[in-house]
Copies of this chain bind each other. A is one copy, B any other.
Amino acid sequence: MKKVGVALLGLGVVGGGTYEILKKHQEFFKKTQGVDLVVKYVMDRNTARCTELGVDPAIITTDINVIADDPDVQIVAEFFGGIEPARTFLTTVLKKGKSIVTANKELFSKYWHELEAAAKEGKAGLYYEASCVGGVPIIRTLTEGTQANRILSIKGIINGTTNYILSSMSDEGKTYENALAEAQRLGYAEADPTADVEGFDAMYKLSILSSLAYHKKVPIDRVYREGISRVAIEDILIGKELGLTLKLLAISKDDGKKIQARVHPTFVPNTHPLASVSGSFNAVHLVGDSVGDIMLYGRGAGALPTGSAIVSDILYAAKQTKHRYCPFNNTGTATKDGDFADDFISKYYIRLTVKDEVGTLGRIAGAFGKNNVSIVTVLQRDSRTEIVNIIFVTHETLEKNIKKAIEDIKSLKGVTEVNSVIHVEE
């Protein structure tokens, strides 16, 4: 029986879930996987937490070098999150030949190349299934399940906090502020929710997934990012009337020449498989050139779902006789500026406040037409007052055309305000 020593850095939510799975299933893994996973070290300053989880005090350490220098440790799983000390610690152990397993999307998306260089130096492996979409095996799907395909697009709901907030706005008619407060009370959102609600978390994940999918590094600064903090409940309710559901989507596409990647609030038709992914669930929809449409759905966060991905990575890492590295780092296909599209094509939902006067609608239609934006749907709301809302849904158009049209419309007589401009994906 192959014995594999594991060190856990951090024993928070996911670290705790991982420890629980490793203890509960040690015999099960011996029987079904032929591997004896032994927790050799736990690094956490919170001794109360360690005691609560039943960690033997003898295996608690605060010194990374104890772990790095122990030849019986083969795998180090990291749960600190953020950049430091994770970056230094993981680089240290990789160089000593220990494979790492991590859920740290921020570190991974920013310092992948650095971690990979350290891994090559130590002939160690990098495993990061848990960094994207919790327990859903999306990384394994990309690297071992659909690798026969050129991936054409990724569309995902990959942040549970924002999906919970948008679902509760849509289902219960709550404002953003009230939905956020509720999510915080229930533990679905952090006290400082910025990383989730402003789309940073989804941006990190989309950078990782897109890099794997398109075999080229898609750095975070090439991912357009827009959060949900300015989403108005009015638009969610109007969208419902139009058969559209609002989601924070992470979208990337590769047309074979240019890559585009973006995170923003997006309307999808109610019939789209992603429309029914609600609450804290996550889902990723892929299109491959041979396989066509694939969707994976599951829990994107939580102690045990993310712990499941961590332990699956540990078992996977334990069985590799030779670790593999990313082709885009191996072959030097550094991404160039020209690899990215700066002209997005999308449909748009636009809500305007206008004065109910003869000629206003004609002037607006003229401004769209002048900028080559054609309209699918016009919806006028509530004409009991002199101020009315008009909603337009466009055909596919270049983002630069929409921007120019909106600039023109803003200065038109009778237009009071451009309230919302929201992407619509089919």
Contacts and interface: CB of A to CB of B under 8 A. Distances in A.
27 contacts: A25-B150, A28-B150, A31-B215, A31-B331, A32-B327, A34-B330, A135-B290, A135-B292, A135-B294, A136-B294, A137-B140, A137-B144, A144-B312, A146-B308, A147-B312, A147-B316, A148-B307, A148-B310, A148-B315, A290-B305, A291-B304, A291-B308, A291-B309, A292-B299, A294-B298, A319-B324, A321-B322
Contact of A292 (B31, B296, B304, B312): B304
Interface in A133-158: 135-137, 140-141, 144-150
Nearest to A149: B308
A140 B135 contact: no
A31 B330 CA distance: 10
A140 B316 CA distance: 11
Which of A145, A149, A298, A312 lies at the interface centre, i.e. has the most chain B CB atoms within 10 A of its CB? A145
A292 to B, nearest CB: 5
B137 A146 contact: yes
A82 interface: no
Interface residues of A, number: 56
Contacts of A276: 273, 276
A267 interface: no
Contacts of A254: none
A147 B294 CA distance: 21
Interface of A: 17, 21, 25, 28-29, 31-34, 129, 135-137, 140-141, 144-150, 215, 273, 276, 288-299, 302, 304-305, 307-312, 314-316, 319, 321-322, 324, 327, 330-331
Contacts of A299: 291-293
Contacts of A314: 148
Contacts of A215: 31-32
Contacts of A149: 308
Which of A149, A150, A311, A316 lies at the interface centre, i.e. has the most chain B CB atoms within 10 A of its CB? A149
Given A135-B291, A147-B315, 12 more contacts: A31-B215, A129-B145, A135-B146, A135-B290, A137-B141, A137-B294, A140-B145, A148-B315, A292-B305, A295-B295, A296-B296, A296-B297
A302 B296 CA distance: 20
Contacts of A331: 31
Given A28-B150, A140-B140, A148-B311, A295 B294 contact: no
Contact of A298 (B292, B310, B319, B324): B292
Nearest to A299: B292
A170 to B, nearest CB: 15
